Structure 1
Amino acid sequence: MLIWGKGRYRTRLAETPEDLEAAQRLRYRAFISGTGAVDRTDGRDADAFDPVCRHVLIEEARTDTLVATFRLLPLASGAEIGRCYSAQYYELEALESFQGPMVEMGRFCIEPGVTDPDILRAAWGAMTSFVDSEGVEMLFGCSSFHGTDAEYYADAFAMLTERYLAPKRWLPRIKAPNVFRFAERLRKPDRVTALKRMPPLLKSYLTMGGWVSDHAVVDRDLNTLHVFTGLEIRAIPPARARALRAVAG
């Protein structure tokens, strides 16, 4: 089912087992192959959440080539937060009181070696269409930094501490056994270095009013550091919301 299409790319929901396999193989190339993550022998990145998620495929319209993918897990409200992927790593009890519809966005990746910024724009166009059509009030997920060297990302974490920590009413607590408590390290970030080393998807969340947990989970299985990231839709600045809807339209 087509959910967004403009210019060079189109975005649709996976409908067949072959669609899902294509997404899983792209995730393998992006997250596993050659990244230092724990390898999978079948060339797929698959888990128990795949059957309950909606999978989004971003394809080059002219060639039907899959260039990016992500998955969505809709929740009726915060009362269902315990069944999301992120709840494996974060204590999300504070979000149980969130009343509106939510959606977890996960496993976002782009084909290795492909750098067209329009792909990320296509992803946000599709996400905006989905959020509007489903009445979603909060978007959340895990934003990943490649590798587990926290010091390399010291300026990025310092910027998150200075500007982007979650409101206390929603703040995720520690659950994972191995975490980096970056908010306890007080330092002035170098803005240029921080932005250079911040994952593009996370930067997009932050420009829309997003926030993060006060710690990063050290995920040695995927060889990443990740922070819980939330975005209340009503907090998106009006100018940014208009721009997103212009892309989505």
Structure 2
Amino acid sequence: MQQPILQTEIRTSSAKLSLSMASTAEELREVQRLRYKVFIETMGLTALASEDGLDSDEFDEHCDHLIVRDTNTLRVVGTYRLLSAARAHKLGRVYSENEFDLSRLNNVRSRIVEAGRACIHPDYRGGSVIMLLWSGLAEYMRRERCDFLAGCASISLADGGHNAVAVYTSLAAKHMAPVEYRVTPHLPFPYSKLEAAQSPQIPPLLKGYMRSGAWICGEPAWDPDFESADLFLLMPLANLDSRYARHYGVEG
């Protein structure tokens, strides 16, 4: 593990929250248990159930893991997985390449941090946890001297995919990346064959990315395991809106 991010704490009306980086095997298991609760149990993805109650894959050991903990209960209530450019180079790939052809990004790979597996405990979704996670992400990117944040944002297909169509078409009109940053899904989500929902319901994480200046880098991929349509996002740090920069602590 790299040197941990300087611990940060905030108080809310109901909890005291701390931000840190996982530094032990037990902390990683806590992260994986939270991810299992959110991604498998809460979403009802019984096909992905496991006996150990952990959401884990081969990338976990190569990544750094931000942790938000409720210091009153010591429970991990939020997490974000980060893959530095150096570790991605050593590994030979990033997680998003499971879903997308990223060959057009080869010239900026050394300047990208990939973020993923963001999740927040259902009892702590008032905004403070995600704010702490973004604060840690900003500090991590400064430390790694990277100019781009990349990752996938998922849209549930529980309604048959109609909201995913509405979200993609509405966001693509305003937030599509320049052509030199476009990617191609390996398994495209057939959005053109479905009717869009009348009013798009943008997932909170995706909404946060858009407000912070992220680009959508092409058409959505279909993830049948997680029953979602996934968008590949790229966010230049230079695009951060000043009001979010103040929140995230990245004003220069």
So what's the TM-score if we normalise by structure 2? 0.85
Could you tell me whether the CA contact under 8 Å between 1:164 and 1:210 is conserved in 2?
Answer: yes
Instruction: State the Cα RMSD in Å.
Output: 2.7
Give the direction of change, closer, same or farther, for the CA distance of 1:81–1:163 in structure 2 (3 Å limit).
farther
Flag structure 1 segments of 5+ consecutive residues without an equivalent: none
Q: Partner of 1:163 in structure 2?
A: 174
- Pick the aligned partner of 2:33 from 25, 36, 45: 25
- Pick the aligned partner of 1:180 from 180, 189, 204: 189
Q: Partner of 1:219 in structure 2?
A: 223
**1:77-96 alignment, distance < 5 Å:** 83-96=93-106
In the aligned structure 2, how far is the partner of 1:229 from the partner of 1:174? 12
Give the direction of change, closer, same or farther, for the CA distance of 1:126–1:2 in structure 2 (3 Å limit).
same
Give the direction of change, closer, same or farther, for the CA distance of 1:33–1:77 in structure 2 (3 Å limit).
closer
Give the direction of change, closer, same or farther, for the CA distance of 1:118–1:34 in structure 2 (3 Å limit).
closer
Could you tell me whether the CA contact under 8 Å between 2:163 and 2:197 is conserved in 1?
Answer: no
Letter in 2 for 1:61: T
Q: CA deviation at 1:147?
A: 3.1
When structure 1 is superposed on structure 2, of 15-24 and 131-140 the one drifting more is 131-140
**1:45-64 alignment, distance < 5 Å:** 45-64=55-74
Flag structure 2 segments of 5+ consecutive residues without an equivalent: 11-15
Q: CA deviation at 1:100?
A: 4.7
Partner SS, residue 103 of structure 1:
strand
Could you tell me whether the CA contact under 8 Å between 2:213 and 2:239 is conserved in 1?
Answer: yes
Q: Partner of 1:232 in structure 2?
A: 236
Q: Deviations over 1:75-133 (max 9, x none)?
A: 14997795100011100000001165211101000113432211111111111111122
Q: Partner of 2:151 in structure 1?
A: 141
How many aligned positions are there?
240
Q: Partner of 2:8 in structure 1?
A: 5
Letter in 1 for 2:145: G
Give the direction of change, closer, same or farther, for the CA distance of 1:27–1:78 in structure 2 (3 Å limit).
closer
Q: CA deviation at 1:239?
A: 4.1
When structure 1 is superposed on structure 2, of 122-131 and 237-246 the one drifting more is 237-246
Letter in 2 for 1:172: V
Partner SS, residue 198 of structure 1:
coil
Q: CA deviation at 1:212?
A: 1.3
Give the direction of change, closer, same or farther, for the CA distance of 1:40–1:215 in structure 2 (3 Å limit).
farther
Q: Deviations over 1:195-246 (max 9, x none)?
A: xx21111111111110113322221212222111110112223443233217
Give the direction of change, closer, same or farther, for the CA distance of 1:150–1:70 in structure 2 (3 Å limit).
same
Q: Which has the higher contact order (CA 8 A, sep 6+)?
A: 1
In the aligned structure 2, how far is the partner of 1:217 from the partner of 1:20? 28
In the aligned structure 1, how far is the partner of 2:91 from the partner of 2:225? 23
Give the direction of change, closer, same or farther, for the CA distance of 1:95–1:104 in structure 2 (3 Å limit).
same
